[in-house]
Amino acid sequence: MKKKTLVVSVAVVLILLLPFLGGSAIWYLGGAHGLDVNGTAKRVGRPENSISVGDGWSSYGGDAGGHRYSDAAQITIENVDTLVPAWEYRTGDLVDKAAAMSRAATEGTPILVEDSLVFCTPFNEIIALDPGTGLERWRFDPEIDLDQRPANQFVCRGVSHWQDADSEADCSSRILMGTNDARLIAVDARTGQRCQSFGTDGQVRIDPGMALWWPGEFQITSPPAIIGDTVIVGSAISDNARVAAPKGSVRAFDARTGEPRWDFDPVPRGEGDPERSDWQGDGPPTEGHANVWAPMSVDPERGLVFLPTSSPSPDFYGGLRPGDNRYANSVVALNGTTGEVVWSFQTVHHDVWDYDVPAQPGLYTVWRNGKLHDVVAQVTKTGFVFVLDRDTGEAFLPIEERPVPQDGIQGEILSPTQPFPAITPPIVPNVVSADDAFGITWFDKHECRKLIENSRAQGLFTPPSTQGTILLPFTGGGANWGGAAYDPERNLLVVNMSNIAHHVQLFRSDNLEQMREVFHDQEVSPQEGAPYGMKRETLMSSLDLPCTQPPWGIIAGVNLDSGEVVWRKTIGTTEDLSFAPGMKLGTPTFGGPMITATGVVFIGATMDHYLRAFDVSNGEELWRGRLQSPAMATPMSYEWKGRQYVVIYAGGNARTGTKLSDRLVAFALP
């Protein structure tokens, strides 16, 4: 989302929004658009033989399967409204790295290991804190180049922990982290010193396999996956620069020595690969990407690693890659020892919409009629939730292929169908018409109406065009990297999604410089090697308000046994986007939820300055804690010396144009 988006509407919202919406604001929050569902998730209780989850917070997602669930039970639905700030830690980035903060997103979630709270800054500094006081214990700085231009901003979502079976070995307890400049680093979890036995001087440099166009085109933004004594990293690669981009290979290394073990390229280039036929052409595919930039999941008992793969390069033209393009846009289960594919499920065939699989696959144990089922639940940018059998990748909740819009750009060969969950409806809308155009005055509503009328807008999977195509949800989702949380007491998946559209327009590649000159304040990308470049912008009026009907941010609870959407609520207000009182119109969300054993959902993610608590059974808001800036990260919780803490990294995101900060904040009961 561009920097000015939603922020320049300060005076507009103040002067216009209140008179025009008034009491009718409630109509926009539900009713006519079906976005608010009032229901209650019943607490059934786990069967006796179910696996216990939520003990501590030793991995980015709480555990290796990404439950984002804590057994900590001191904070309850009854007392959560008494939470107060317990401590605050400032990294110093707002002062020491002020210039680089304008290209940074604060998305990190700490882990609790070796009696320390350990997290990474956007600039890959690793910091260990006392869990009860927030006082710094140690700090490691890899000294990345702050002059580089990262493809996806400076980002570090988290670190991982590996424990050697030989507790007497050198550096037996390790923190592992991928960096913005493509290194894999190991430091001692107790001291923060480099593990000299790992790679060279405690690090392995990742070779992207080709010359980069600029420093930062290839980076690592999500925490490594750990299975046994193997550490696995993906990569984030700049979108839409070129067809023959760096490969999106997933790489595995020995956690002790840093020696390579295996790699997996989600683009099947070998003739012996069974999915090679889904990349039709005269020879092996030349496209890069199909990379894994979001967090991965691990099932240690099955020895499986689960990858969420991205779209191929480039995003918006696929005429050079006919076929479904599997393993792109897929959940891929790999053997953690060999890197061989066990199964895969594709969420989007032949993607030309930038609908990556954007979030950590959730490895949950769901029960139905008293019987346990191990599943993979995947939230998506399209607003869908797919639930798969963990052993086979077959549908646990029914999935069906449905016809989708055709008639793509010249040379494009689209898939005639796409997979849709048969029971669970999309969490956010995926179709918009001119009659749906939002506006707070006749003028901006008319402007939005014309924008939609003059574009292709046939709903989800409308192909990109030279006319201009509306993508709803926009390429930020639906769901994004914040993912979902799972309550094993209720079979309930909680996920937040955005309800914003993009306008994408293709143009002949020889018109690139002309397009850049005319649209110099918008995203214009070459897609070099393809016959078309692309222009992308958020679908907004000149008042910088979205053309889609609010709410623009949604949080929902989905029963993974039945597929039913139990409740769906608005999340976010305009409070910190204007001088007006906070209107509950929702905001786009960046970050995810977590759940406690007492049925409290904690989430930041919005563009206003709050950490919120919701009742997991019905989605009712219980509390909000004021922050210095938006908390566009995922919170975590733990108990330390008899006190439960909820911690959130509140630093904002430069691309949203919201206020930036460098604070890690802990809340607890008085």
- Residues 6 or more apart from 280 whose CB is under 8 A from it? 321, 322, 323
Q: Which amino acid is at 130?
A: D
Residue 274's Cβ-count burial label (10 Å; 0-12, 13-18, 19+) is: exposed
Q: What are the tokens at 555?
A: 């949080």
Pairing verdict, β 69-70 and 593-596: parallel
Tell me the HSE value of 428 on the side-chain side, using a 13 A CA sphere.
Answer: 36
Q: What whole-number distance in Å separates Cα of residue 16 and Cα of residue 443?
A: 12
Residue 139's Cβ-count burial label (10 Å; 0-12, 13-18, 19+) is: middle
Q: What are the tokens at 260?
A: 């390579």
Residue 18's Cβ-count burial label (10 Å; 0-12, 13-18, 19+) is: middle
First to last CA, the chain: 38
Pairing verdict, β 610-615 and 621-626: antiparallel
Q: Which amino acid is at 499?
A: N
DSSP sequence for 534-588:
EEEEE-B-TTS-BSSPSP-EEEEEEETTT--EEEEEE---SGGGSSS--------
Residue 173's Cβ-count burial label (10 Å; 0-12, 13-18, 19+) is: middle
Q: What is the phi/psi pair of residue 19, to 5°?
A: -65, -40
Q: What whole-number distance in Å separates Cα of residue 97 and Cα of residue 535?
A: 31
Where is 449: in which H helix or E strand?
A: helix 442-453
Number of Cβ atoms within 10 Å of the Cβ of 446: 14
DSSP sequence for 187-211:
EETTT--B-TTSBBTTEEE---SS-
Are 572 and 587 within 8 A, CB to CB? Answer: yes
Angle at 365 between CA 360 and CA 369, to 5 degrees: 140
Q: What whole-number distance in Å separates Cα of residue 504 and Cα of residue 249?
A: 28
Pairing verdict, β 136-140 and 160-163: unpaired
Q: What whole-number distance in Å separates Cα of residue 405 and Cα of residue 75?
A: 49
Residues with a catalytic annotation lie at 354
Are 610 and 602 within 8 A, CB to CB? Answer: no
Where is 343: in which H helix or E strand?
A: strand 341-346
SS3 484: strand
Q: Which amino acid is at 348?
A: V
Q: What whole-number distance in Å separates Cα of residue 625 and Cα of residue 179?
A: 31
Residues in the chain: 670
Tell me the HSE value of 77 on the side-chain side, using a 13 A CA sphere.
Answer: 14
